[in-house]
Amino acid sequence: MKPQFAMGLVALTWFTTVDVALAEVPAPPTISVLTATKKPINEQLNVTGSFAAGEMVLVTPEIEGLLVMNFLAEEGDTVKKGQTLVNLNSAAIDIQLQQAMISRDKASADLERITKLRSTGVETQANFDLTKSTFDLAVSQIAALQLNKSRSEIKSPVDGYIATRAVQIGSVASASKPPLYQIVRDGEIELQAEVPESDLPRVKLGQIASITVNGLTQPVMGEVKLISPQINQQTRIGIAHIAVKSDQRIPLGTFGRATITLAAEEGVGLPMTAVTFGDNGPTVQIVKDGKVQVRKVTTGLVGTDDIEITKGVEAGETFVARAGSFVRDGDAVTPVALTQ
């Protein structure tokens, strides 16, 4: 009995030692993971600038020296092409026009008389030519005076709204003075966005922008319509003109921010925290069968929070949400899925 008891005691001691050893083996460390999915990825550029007219039309008098009798439009008013904005004093033109008509009528009668006399050989060709030129001159003078008469009513050359008014009743109209009005053509405005020299080549015509306007709760949409061919040599800043696609009348000079969508793709997108950029290029830590695999990847578009993986990671694979030096290639881990 004693030998059997001794063997039983040894066996019990061995199993106890194994249990203790197994109990002392630590569980693999937990690591937060996500599942790769395909999603829309937008590469964007944030810019700032001020709002200006898409095209500012200057209204100036086409006739000099006439007094302003009244004006019919104020700043902010919407105007139509051909709408009368200013009336000038045309009394002197009316008198000249009446005199020119009298001269024309007299020259017309003389021309008719001389024409009849020429047929009988009484009048000479020289007298006929002189009378004819007098009549033609009177007709041209009437046409010029009628044109000046029409110009005494200054009209809007385009549709739009009045941005500024400088006209004053009693002032003398002159093209050498500041414009009577400045009109925002068709009401179109733009954000003149400042773009760093290094980013300017990525901005293209037709790109869509979301514009945040001071004082408005919702952003407005815009589209890049023009890129300045020059940059400021001191600041190294270029200007991108973003046409505002909104009926909202934004005050000129207002500060605005725009997010320009440079490119958009549908692809596998990972958070920036999941990609490590090293000397050998970008890598992602994949978790497969409870172990970490460090995999080289090829990146594409860079969004605000996500980066496109064009090669190296497929949709449905599990990856470490926050890559770093916590785990290495081949390490066993306990993956814990985060809510995306």
What pLDDT is recorded for position 128? Answer: 82
- What gap in Å lies between CA 173 and CA 60, rounded to an integer? 8
The residue written with tokens 């990525």 in the block is 202
The whole-number pLDDT of residue 340 equals 61
**Is 34 exposed, middle or buried (CB count within 10 Å of its CB: 0-12, 13-18, 19+)?**
buried
Name, in order, each residue with C-beta under 8 angstroms of 287's C-beta and a sequence gap of 6 or more. Answer: 31, 33, 293, 318, 319, 320, 333, 335
| pLDDT value for 24 | 59
pLDDT number for residue 25: 61
Say if CB 32 and CB 340 are below 8 A apart. no
What was the pLDDT predicted at 3?
52
Q: What is the mean pLDDT of the chain?
A: 88
Predicted confidence at residue 1, as pLDDT, reads 46
| Predicted pLDDT at 10 | 44
Q: What is the pLDDT of residue 247?
A: 85
**Rounded Cα distance, 267 and 40, in Å:** 7
pLDDT tens digits, 134-171: 999 999 999 999 999 999 999 999 999 999 999 999 99
Residue ranges for the chain with pLDDT beneath 50? 1-2, 5-12, 14-15, 18, 20-22
Position 105: which residue type? D
Give tens-digit pLDDT for 61-114.
Answer: 999 999 999 999 999 999 999 999 999 999 999 999 999 999 999 989 988 888
- The end-to-end CA distance of the chain, in Å, is 66
Domains annotated on the chain, with CATH: 30-42+266-337 (2.40.420.20), 46-54+186-264 (2.40.30.170), 57-89+152-183 (2.40.50.100), 93-140 (no CATH)
What's the farthest any 2 CA atoms get from each other in the chain? 174
Interhelix angle 125-151/91-120, rounded to 10 degrees, is 160
Q: What is the pLDDT of residue 23?
A: 52
